[in-house]
Structure formats: structure tokens, C-alpha cells
Structure 1
Amino acid sequence: MAKKKGVTTNLAGKSAKHKNHTVPKGLLKRWLAENEGKKGYWVLDCNSGTVQFRKGENASFAIKEFRYVPVRYTKEGTAYRDEWLEDWFSQGESDLAAVTDQILKGQYDAIKDKARDSFIGAAIMLGFRSAYEFSCLETLIREENPDCSHESIGRQVVDHFRSLHATKIQQFESWSFTLHGPTKEPLLIGDRPLFDMTLTASNQQGVYIPLTPEILLVGRPSNDPNFKKNKRITSIESVSQELTPIANNMTVERARQFIVGKKEQLLALRPRFIQQTFAERKSQDSFVVLSNGEQSGRGLLV
């Protein structure tokens, strides 16, 4: 007997966008490599600790079927896949790619205010995309509500993270964002590409987002009352000796599914993904808890 398919169409009755990139292709493409005449990515699989060259530019290792398009129902009771979040992500991916291209060409004067703001918002929004955290929250909801349907859990998870994205973009509106590069060693990127330090014991509040193997976007609170009027991207600041290894260590510590980088870098990381060591890191995982639309703390993922 053939397996019955679930809902696969959008509100218009057309095939829904089901191949959802959990880390945007427009961001990952900066790490494209070539091996034996083929383009692709060097990828470390966190669960096995193996390093492989994944052929193709589409970054299939970062695709999850129907990750951001939950099943909803019309007033008439017709089921459909809601593409709102995936469409929001797609627009953000376009903005991020376009401004990053301008930055790489040194065309800072050509970056318009609206494009800059969209670029920063997109980096934050896309940096918070984590298929791993989606899955963990699904598990938590299922454990607390064992009779809850798969469709209902999917909606709850997407709605939580949609609210989180909006909250975070608003939180960082008055922050100062600067570009740092070129790095002395290539930056890594993982399945959880943004490092949010706003709910840690550290006094060093900030967010860090790898944009390319050589450029890091850094956001910090601004004390300038005129900041919103003067937050142009004017150049790339030099990188301190400590920043690159700190950023790469954060990527390794936070990665739960994959890391992309240079082959030699990834091979050197394999001891950090021995099963017991990796399991110990995961046991401390947490996610942002929202209360009345505001960040209120962190809850354990596992």
C-alpha cells in the first residue's frame, strides 16, 4: 500500500515551497568550494564527526522538507501549507545577498539606508533560523501535550519562532552594526549561524554573524542618541587577533547538525564531535523564551 501523502499545496492550491533551506543558500554560497573540478561544500556532520565534500551549489544538506510551511485551515476547513514565514525568509535572503555583494565590491556609498536596514534585519532573521531548535521545541511540546496532533505542533513551533524573529529585529533596532575583516583564518559557518549574547552572564552584549569566510557582522548596543540617523555601513574594520578564533569556537560550540568550512579546518575539529563530548554540549542547550512579545529568559532544549 502506498504511503498517504500529507498536505502539499498552498492557499492558492499550487505546490507549496517544500524544500526549505534551514540556513539560507544565499549565505552558504559564500563558502562554495571546488574539489576535483566539481563545485560544492566541505561539510562536517556533527552527529558522526565525518567530513565530506557535498557536490552541488544547492546545499542540499541544509534543506528540510516543509520546515517553515505549517498546515493551516481556511474558515471552510480546507487544509493548506502556510508559506508566510518561508516567503519572509526568501525576501530576507535576497536582501542579504545583494548588500553582501556590494560590500565585497567595496561599494559602500551605493548601499541605501533602506537596503542597509533590510540587510541587518535579514542577517538577524536568517541567523536565528535553526532546524535543530525547531525540532527540539517540537519534542518539548509533544512531551507536554502527548495528544497534540503533528499539524498543531508544527503551527505552534512556527508561530513561536516567527514571533521570536520579530522580537529580535525590534530589539536590535538601536544597535550599532559593524563589519570586521578580512580575517586571518577563514570563518566557519554552522547550522546555527548567529551568536546571540543578550541572555548570557557576560557583560559583553552582542550578536555575531559570519557573512563570508573573511567577513563578520558584529552588533553591539549603541549609546549614541543620534544612532538611527548615522548607522551607515562605511567600511570594514580590521579584525582583532582574538575575534576570529572566538567566532569559530562559537560556531563549533553551537553547531548541532553541520559545519561548513575549509577541509583542513573541519578535519581538525573531528575530536570535538566524539559522541560523548557532543552529547555533553547538547545537554546544556537552551532557547529563547518569550513573554508578552518580549524576551524573558532561556528554557532548556533537552
Structure 2
Amino acid sequence: MNQDSVYAIGDIQGCLESLQGLLEQLPADAPLLFVGDLVNRGPESLATLRFIKSLGSRVAVTLGNHDLHLLACAAGAGRVHKKDTIGEILEAPDCEELVEWLRRQPLLIERCGTVFAHAGLNPNWTLDEARALAAEAHEALSGDNWKTWLQGMYGNTDWTGELTGPARMRAILNAFTRMRFVDRTTGELDFEQKEDIGSAPAHLVPWFEFEGRRERDVTVCFGHWSMLGLINRPDVVAIDTGCLWGGRLTAVRFPDRRFFEEPCPCWADPFTFKKKKTGKHAS
């Protein structure tokens, strides 16, 4: 295995057929880094989670909001919604083993000169601050009291340094897994706007376009935002290309940024998800 490269893969959301097709394009021993949302809304969440876990040390994962939703449901802190496809995981005989593996995955990974996080890097944080907060949440979710930490996970709390307890955990998880737009003046995260950039109100900008962004000298690779499509800039690589919605599943090899794409069948109708915005964590 070449330890000097890594293949980052966008949001799978239970679309195992697409993942297996994409992997056929990659070297058999390619090191893989999934940027979150392994499960939910797609047709084979249980099989997808089992498959990725079976790849062992070849795989690295950053947690996404749908992965956290699964963990919260397993912890008794959330409920399975009508459009979710995680119920089969919660009812599986190996559920506990899968959850134990998933909850020990980090929120931030650094590899090949690149920062990987599901939703990106909060523009109001330095990289050192992001590292520390990701480590804090990782320690909590990996520990014996992980279920307690997830009891207050849902809600639109933005980060401030004064936060403590469940609100602090909620804000950290929100930033790493739910962030899209921020206020163009303050950088405050907005959790209501979820569409493409052209549909956003004038006071909002994508987090990576915020003029006060504190870390511009690092490359951030993220998923989470299928409406963006593929973005390949010196400082930002976005790789959620709408696998679930009949788009593509994308992999990018770092550090040379060679892209690989697998066309995907449409497993979810986007119009069925355009309900009144409620701030639910798994959106």
C-alpha cells in the first residue's frame, strides 16, 4: 500500500453498488478515506457499513451528520425518521459491533497535506483550534459515556468559547458535520439554508468564501453539500457529487488530485425531502 497517497471518497449514504463500482477503478490496495455519511437514505446502509468496516486498516473515516444520527439513535437520543434507512442497522445482530466501530471514528483527519472533515473547517477557527475541538469530541464519543454526550446532539447551536456540556458538544458536531453557509459579516453558521449558492440570501456565503476565514493556507477536502457539485480549488476540494440523487460518486487521489467517478442510479427523489426546514441534525 502506498502510504504517500490517499483516495478520498464522497458521501455514500448506503449506496453500496456505487461504492463497489468506484472501487473497481482504484488499485486493489488503495488507501481509502471516507469523508462521512457512510449511511442513511440509500438502499443498503447495513451492507455498506459492514463492507467499509471489513476493509480494516485500509480505511479511514470522518464522521458525517448521518453517521452521528445513527449513533444518536443507537444511544436512545434520536429516533428513526420515515426517510431513514438506518433501521436495518439498529435491528441487525451485529449492531453493537458496528456502532462500537463507528463511534470511534474521528471528525478531522490530516493526510497528504490536506485536512479532511465532513462539512469543512469552521472559518472562525484556526487549524489548531479545529484539531483541539475535534479531539475533544472524539474522546467523548470514544469513551464509556458516549451515549450521555449524544443526548443533547440535535439543535442549531453555533460555536462560542463559553459553551459547556451538551451545548458545547452540539456546537462542535454541528460545525464539523452540518456547516454550509455562514453570515458574510460575522461568519456565524446558518443551518437553515441548504440549497445551491445561487439560491442563498444576500447575507449568506459558503463557509469557504467568508472574507474573515482564519485558515486560508490549508487545503480542506469535504463532502456534505451535494448542491455544490465538484469543486477543485487550491484551498478547497468538495466531493459530494450527489450519489444518492442519481449523480456520481467521486474519489480524488491526493496529493496529485486525480479524480475518479462512478455514475449512480437515483435512489432518492430530492423533492420528497424539500419539506419545511426544521433544523433536524440528519438533514
Q: Same fold (TM over 0.5)?
A: no
Of Structure 1 and Structure 2, the greater helix share is in: 1
Higher alpha-carbon Rg: 1
Of Structure 1 and Structure 2, the greater strand share is in: 1
